[in-house]
Amino acid sequence: MTDLTQNSLNPSEAEDPKRSDFVRELVSEDLENRRFNRSVQTRFPPEPNGYLHIGHAKAIVLDFSIAQENGGICMLRFDDTNPTTEDQRYVDAIVEDVQWLGYNPASINYSSDYFEQLYEWAELLILEGLAYVDAQSAEEIAEQRGGFGQPGIEGPYRDRTPDENLALFREMRDGLHPEGSCVLRAKIDMQHENMQLRDPVMYRIRYDHHYRTGDTWKIYPSYDWAHGQGDAIEGVTHSLCSLEFSDNRALYDWYLQQLPLEGEAPYQTEFARLELTYTVTSKRRLKQLVDDGHVSGWDDPRLPTLRALRRRGYPASAIREFCSFIGVSRTNSRHDIELLESFVRTELNQTAQRRMAVLRPLKLVITNWPEDEHGEPVIEMRTLVNNPEDDADGTREVPFSRELWIEQDDFRMEPPPKYFRLSPGTEVRLRGGYLVTCTGAICDEEGNPLEVHCTYDPQTAGGSAPDGRKVKSTIHWVAASHAIDGSVALYERLFKERIPGETTGDPIDDLDRDSVEILRDCKLEQSLSDVEPNEVVQFERIGYFAADPVLEDHFHRTVGLRDEWARLQNQR
């Protein structure tokens, strides 16, 4: 189960300094001109045939914030006009994801609830001679539609009488015609330069079971015949969608003009969808990754789906902030994934509690550490700050003793230039513990360190020296006697290329086959066993990690900390 409770909007988001964009400008103009006699209404209209991803988040944030900023409402509407591909489980998942993102739709609607109304309106168009039943094959219809620069031609059934059409259409509804045998088409203009207006299909016959209407219907409305009408029925004012629907706008308007609607009709505005570097956001590509087993499922943390980002530890607020920051335009663009990550870091830096975890352990022994009366090493409790960015998070007690685990990366037998961490003869701080000086190390035959030896300065409890001397590095540690064993999943980008598939046309070719690394012998600070499922903590000096919702002591790397040392090394 996923925790969906902690997603109220930040106050800072509500009073977001008004950034203007062309959509908001349109809305304010409409408000000034009193175009609508109803409040601003928007809707997020997914088709329940897949899972929501970061691209949808942009649309969701836009739809909801436009409404919120103007005292209006935003609804969730499932555009479920295709029984072949849609399913209730997608509805459930989408509702959950929208909620997790932090939004409560004013209502949850379904295009399928309008099937009856849509059907009546279709008969109306037929009666007015604006729609006809075409008994040609899909291929024939496509052929007659013409092409870019070539006008279409009118088919043989175009001039049937309204009565004939009505009878035929009712037969279609009643299941008297096989699938694919005929369609209802709007009678517009086969020569129109906009192909969308070349007698578009309004209804097709499908004998599939619809997940909501069951077997009630044998005919299903097309997207265009359902969408604008759904908007109108619901009272939508501003119908926002992505750029590829630009050409559909004329049809959207045409349909609404033919119908006896009250009040000003909604109108459609298109904007550029969100693309990100090093990932894909298309239902088809995502489905392929899942179906072909390139990832473990729709919530594989390497995916850009909302459930994956959630599992990975991305805060909903960071996604929201990111989406409103990037704004909205009509330019095809691809944002750096780093920008999203920087929003995640900014949020998590403020909110995530700090803990110590050693991912690749190396034993460190403090040779002059005292023993108790039984000859056992003393266990000393050290007090560590939970979050330097937020005093309210308080402190915790962490055991410290003679034998500790430290990160393999934090010791070098022969330190490279600029290496500030432990090496023979150097002194470092064990965070919140003591200053220790390395006296040497036991190595295997190949020279790999097995155990590092240090002496500690008893005067430096807490980590500062009374004489004021400085050390160049602070490293994290976990007491060997109290460490819990855990595992960690380190994620890299799923794709090696900035624009997956750019060169070959197939993103799969750019898949990084090693995009996840599981570390199984990690040593975790005791308190890490208390972390709630999906909670994100910072492993000091490493990154942000989300507790797996089911696996014990397993963490997913949300995002790493910026790493100056790694950058230095890459420079050479």
- The answer to whether 502 is a known catalytic residue is no
CB of 33 closer than 8 Å to CB of 13 = no
The C-alpha atoms of residue 210 and residue 528 are separated, in whole angstroms, by 47
Cα angle 460-466-467, degrees, rounded to a multiple of 5: 120
One-letter identity of residue 410: D
- Least distance from RNA to the Cβ atom of residue 269, Å: 11
- Least distance from RNA to the Cβ atom of residue 357, Å: 11
The C-alpha atoms of residue 557 and residue 516 are separated, in whole angstroms, by 10
- Least distance from RNA to the Cβ atom of residue 394, Å: 14
Q: Which CB atom, from 205 or from 441, has the smaller least distance to RNA?
A: 205
For the chain, counts of helices (H) and of strands (E): 14, 25
- Least distance from RNA to the Cβ atom of residue 420, Å: 4
- Could you tell me the end-to-end alpha-carbon distance of the chain, in angstroms, rounded to an integer? 46
- The answer to whether 47 is a known catalytic residue is yes
Burial annotation 80-99 (CB, 10 A radius, 16+ → b, else e): bbbbeebeeebbebbbbbbb
Cα angle 302-303-305, degrees, rounded to a multiple of 5: 140
Two tokens, residue 375: 């000859």
Which of these is catalytic: 145, 170, 273, 334?
Answer: 273
Q: Which CB atom, from 4 or from 497, has the smaller least distance to RNA?
A: 497
- Least distance from RNA to the Cβ atom of residue 33, Å: 15
CB of 350 closer than 8 Å to CB of 390 = yes
Which of these is catalytic: 13, 47, 143, 341?
Answer: 47
The C-alpha atoms of residue 540 and residue 542 are separated, in whole angstroms, by 5
Which residues does residue 357 pair with via DSSP β-bridges, in sequence order?
524
- Least distance from RNA to the Cβ atom of residue 445, Å: 27
Quote the radius of gyration of the chain (alpha carbons, Å). Answer: 31
Two tokens, residue 84: 């072949």
Element housing 268 (H / E): strand 267-271
The C-alpha atoms of residue 450 and residue 493 are separated, in whole angstroms, by 32
Which residues does residue 201 pair with via DSSP β-bridges, in sequence order?
185
- Least distance from RNA to the Cβ atom of residue 182, Å: 6
CB of 384 closer than 8 Å to CB of 355 = no
Q: Which CB atom, from 47 or from 509, has the smaller least distance to RNA?
A: 47
DSSP for 123-183, written as a single string: HHHHHTTSEEEE-S-HHHHHHHT-BTTB-----TTTT--HHHHHHHHHHHHTT-S-TTS-E
Which of these is catalytic: 145, 158, 170, 283?
Answer: 283
CA distances to 215, 407, 476, 541 from 473, rounded to whole Å, are 70, 13, 10, 11
Q: Which CB atom, from 246 or from 487, has the smaller least distance to RNA?
A: 246
- The answer to whether 164 is a known catalytic residue is no
Q: Which CB atom, from 415 or from 440, has the smaller least distance to RNA?
A: 415
Q: Which CB atom, from 56 or from 300, has the smaller least distance to RNA?
A: 56
Q: Which CB atom, from 84 or from 296, has the smaller least distance to RNA?
A: 84
**Measuring CA to CA, which residue among 85, 67, 84 is closest to residue 75?**
67
- Least distance from RNA to the Cβ atom of residue 22, Å: 6
CB of 462 closer than 8 Å to CB of 360 = no
**Measuring CA to CA, which residue among 540, 553, 169 is closest to residue 384?**
540
Q: Which CB atom, from 308 or from 422, has the smaller least distance to RNA?
A: 422
CB of 180 closer than 8 Å to CB of 187 = no
Q: Which CB atom, from 48 or from 300, has the smaller least distance to RNA?
A: 48
- Least distance from RNA to the Cβ atom of residue 326, Å: 5
Q: Which residues are catalytic?
A: 47, 273, 283
